[in-house]
Structure 1
Amino acid sequence: MGQEVGQEKVSAIMPKRAKELSALTVARLKNEGRHAVGGVPGLHLRIAGDSRAWILRIKIGARRRDIGLGPYPEVSLAEAREDARVHRKKVRDGKDPLDEKRQIRASLREERARAITFKECAKAYIEAHKAGWRNEKHVKQWGASLETYAYPKIGALPVGAIDTGSVLDVLRPIWAHKTETASRLRGRVENILDWAKVSGYRDGENPARWRGHLDKLLPARSKVQKVEHHAALPYAEIGHFMAELRDREGTSARALEFAILTAARSSEVRGATWAEIDLVNRIWIIPADRMKAGKEHRVPLSPAAVALLKAASRIEGVDYVFPAARGGMLSDMALTSVLKRMGRAGLTQHGFRSTFRDWAGETTAYPREVIEHALAHQLKDKAEAAYQRGDLLAKRSRLMTDWARFCTIVQNASSNVVAIKRKRGGNLAST
């Protein structure tokens, strides 16, 4: 028997009326399969192994559907019959109980999703992306900046509730005096909120985006950030400094000397292993995961750099070229400490890269791209970088040899130059 509701004909199955079972009889049912329990047409108890559940078989439009009413005995016989009557009435009224259930479940999922906090999203984002980041230090930097500046303000907020005001609460206190940190933090918050949107945890525009949004509310970095250059030694003084450095004993002093000769970064030198060094071909190959740009870098070794390495003491079972006293990697303060002991506290190891850059740019005819490759810099001109596919190793080898030679020249006050040669054991002495 059918009933027309609006434009749709909705009818409930009118099965043969089943005998109405008592609660005791239902409790004694053992055989697997469907058992009609009566009281409401189409109501069954389905038994499958140890599982027992209420099922209402009903016809909605042209389709026969099964609607689950819950497990037995958690849902009693009386409750199942009452739910079945409610569903059958909905069908008579032209409604689909299954659609309603799906909508309720979707609403609950959405509610739960909206309750996820920014901190939970941040941790999920870091976990999902950390495998693609350069190293563990990068992962720690992400976590540390969020822990220090973002979590105290917005960490416990539902990620869907974070707006422009929330982001500004995080950035404004540090934007003027910690501009670089604040800028990186803004980018991290933006990435996390983008991830949350794609994951279905929030809607709308990203309140941490810069262009066309926060750039209207915060001053540009260039307006507030004080550019702090690494203290660099004038290249005319490098010969005198290197002579003084070579008179010093210790692994840290040799690491600093090697860093200057190769124009490498502190982390690259401190993490150098003998497996990366090819003394026969005079080359040092730094793997991509140890490079700032995430790309393998080949460093040509000058005769002076090779001599330094050959004179270095190798410790059995330790692969670091310049190991710490206990065999691990030198700390990030090791080379700075050498400078302090030399009474050069105003200098930084990184500043010697600037010394090299100034010398190469002002006193040699080497092309700019050769010098930039020697420093493992990414070319800013993308078109130039696209055409410059090689690493100019042969030209860089001559450049680094010329640099090492220049580092042996001591200029005196009258601008006369005095060459110095290496003593036995790897040191250099004036002649």
Structure 2
Amino acid sequence: MKLTPDFLKTVEPQKGKRLEFRDDEEKGLIFRVTESGHKSWSVRYVAATTGEQRRETYQYPEIGLARARELCRKLKGASSEGRDVAGERKRARAESERAKKDRLELIAEAYFVASKIGAQRFGSQVKPKSETTIAEETRVWNSDLKPKFGQRPVTSLTNREIGDYISELTATATSKGRNAHRLLRQILNYAILRGVIEHNPADRVAVVAIGERKRYLSDPELKAMWDLLSNIEEREKIQIGDEMALLLQFLILTPLRVKEASGARWSEIDKGKKTWTVPADRMKGKRIHIAPLSPAALAILERARQIVGDETYVFASPITAAPLARQSIAHAFSRAAKHLKFTERATPHDLRRTQTTALTSKDRLGVGRDIARLLLAHADNGDTISRHYDCNDYLSEKADAAARWGSLVMKIVANDK
């Protein structure tokens, strides 16, 4: 029959039947009405590429009569040209669904989950990443990579655009570019592991190398920093509270890493033995470390106890009672250095270099490098004897070195040369 707009509007459904009306004007165009009253179009044609019958459906009234006839003509025309429109659409939908599953954002989420159990890359001896590392990588992902590439299918990323973007980040800060590139490369390697891609588009991207830092605090800088942290009125101007000030002073006196010190628990402190036992899971080298405490360091702990009371952590946040965050510590130290107008940028990690430089200098404390390395909790650098045969803990030697450093710091801050 010849379909008309008025007929389409007024045709009524019949109970127990699905009505079909074939259009005389366009062969293959069918108007359907279900028992419930739902109306739709169906276009039937033969795919030239396979010889199979195909059907496309459209909803009424979203698609009216004129538009339905136009679509029917296009489908039949494409078929006569040797195209399979329905097949093309099916493949396009499948590709769209695959692209959604292969979005970098989803690959990154899976990568972070795998990192917690050591399944993020090839190898049978891959270790799980620490919570601190995963937290830092997550920060880099959220701030620098997700906004740029998160919604992109992994297969669409190119070496050139990655290189251009890393160059943009590097222009703002060298470490920013390096950190983003390192993480993106690892996530894309994980995509290779999953079979999503065969080659890593982040390989062979030029990244600016960061030179080895030689920064350490001079005696005047050390004294200025200590005095600022001891001056409540001055440090409140740069928003450094009691807990943060004591932690930074503790870092001056003990050469362990920020994450190792910030997570210190009272249960790890033995005042009688004057030691602090850091568990393996918080140490970079994943080995228990016994750090001797100088009288100056013990004095800091005594003041911390008066402030935090019975909290679990030595340097607990006054808001959450959790350890002070690593980023907050770095920012606080940076604010202090800027407030003191240091001529060179300084970080909490430079305090380790400051202590070690003084310890090993023959003109100052003259401590052996091996003892300094033990205080730092550094790896054995491939020394077979140290790793396998030397069972000494050198605690007395470390305690002597720590006490001598604590005394030197007190002399410096008292300006008693």
Please give the range of the TM-score, normalised by the shorter of the 2 chains.
0.5 to 0.7
The letter of the residue matching 1:122 is A
User: Are 1:325 and 2:312 an aligned pair?
Assistant: no
Give structure 1 stretches of 5+ with no counterpart: 1-107, 419-431
Aligned to 1:405: 407
- Counting only pairs closer than 5 Å after superposition, residues 111-150 of structure 1 correspond to structure 2 as 116-131=102-117, 132-135=128-131, 137-150=132-145
What SS class does the counterpart of residue 352 from structure 1 fall into?
Answer: helix
What SS class does the counterpart of residue 306 from structure 2 fall into?
Answer: coil
User: Are 1:206 and 2:206 an aligned pair?
Assistant: no
User: Are 1:270 and 2:262 an aligned pair?
Assistant: yes
Cα distance change, pair 373–341 in 1 and its aligned pair in 2 (3 A): closer
Aligned to 2:50: none
CA distance in 1, matches of 2:389, 2:183: 32
CA distance in 2, matches of 1:394, 1:122: 47
The letter of the residue matching 2:197 is R
Q: Which deviates the most, 243-252 or 111-120? A: 243-252
Instruction: State the shift of 1:343 in Å.
Output: 5.7
User: Normalised by the size of structure 2, how large is the TM-score?
Assistant: 0.58
Aligned to 1:234: 218
User: Are 1:221 and 2:208 an aligned pair?
Assistant: yes
- Counting only pairs closer than 5 Å after superposition, residues 292-331 of structure 1 correspond to structure 2 as 292-310=284-302, 312-313=305-306, 315=308, 317-326=310-319, 327-330=321-324
CA distance in 2, matches of 1:281, 1:377: 23
CA distance in 1, matches of 2:297, 2:341: 25
Aligned to 2:283: 291
- Counting only pairs closer than 5 Å after superposition, residues 22-33 of structure 1 correspond to structure 2 as none
CA contact (8 A) 2:225 2:337 kept: no
Q: Which deviates the most, 302-311 or 267-276? A: 302-311
CA distance in 1, matches of 2:228, 2:334: 11
CA distance in 2, matches of 1:240, 1:152: 41
CA distance in 1, matches of 2:160, 2:337: 49
Instruction: State the shift of 1:406 in Å.
Output: 1.5
The letter of the residue matching 1:133 is K
Identity %: 24
Query: 180, 188, 192: which is aligned to 2:175?
Result: 180
Any idea what the Cα deviations from partners look like across 1:213-262, whole Å, max 9, x if unmatched? Answer: 33xxx2x523xx577665x4314775787578667694444333322221
Give structure 2 stretches of 5+ with no counterpart: 1-92, 118-127, 234-241
Q: Which deviates the most, 338-347 or 299-308? A: 338-347
CA contact (8 A) 2:278 2:289 kept: yes
Instruction: State the shift of 1:399 in Å.
Output: 0.8
Instruction: Give the paired residue count.
Output: 296
Cα distance change, pair 164–253 in 1 and its aligned pair in 2 (3 A): closer
CA contact (8 A) 1:336 1:349 kept: no
Query: 258, 263, 271: which is aligned to 1:279?
Result: 271
- Mark the structure with the bigger radius of gyration: 1
Cα distance change, pair 142–233 in 1 and its aligned pair in 2 (3 A): closer
Q: Which deviates the most, 358-367 or 372-381? A: 372-381
CA distance in 2, matches of 1:208, 1:384: 40
Any idea what the Cα deviations from partners look like across 1:284-306, whole Å, max 9, x if unmatched? Answer: 12223333444433211123323
Query: 138, 158, 163: which is aligned to 2:153?
Result: 158
CA distance in 2, matches of 1:147, 1:241: 33
Structure having the larger proportion of residues in strand: 1
CA RMSD, 1 decimal: 4.0
Instruction: State the shift of 1:400 in Å.
Output: 0.4
Any idea what the Cα deviations from partners look like across 1:103-154, whole Å, max 9, x if unmatched? Answer: xxxxx9999656622221111111121352211x433332332333333443
- Counting only pairs closer than 5 Å after superposition, residues 377-388 of structure 1 correspond to structure 2 as 377-378=378-379, 386=387
CA contact (8 A) 2:170 2:177 kept: yes
CA distance in 2, matches of 1:320, 1:194: 38
CA distance in 1, matches of 2:218, 2:385: 30
CA distance in 1, matches of 2:152, 2:338: 51
Q: Which deviates the most, 380-389 or 159-168? A: 380-389
CA contact (8 A) 1:335 1:349 kept: no
Q: Which deviates the most, 332-341 or 180-189? A: 332-341
Aligned to 1:14: none
CA distance in 2, matches of 1:246, 1:411: 11
Cα distance change, pair 117–385 in 1 and its aligned pair in 2 (3 A): farther
Instruction: State the shift of 1:344 in Å.
Output: 2.9
What SS class does the counterpart of residue 407 from structure 1 fall into?
Answer: helix
Instruction: State the shift of 1:403 in Å.
Output: 0.7
User: Are 1:260 and 2:291 an aligned pair?
Assistant: no
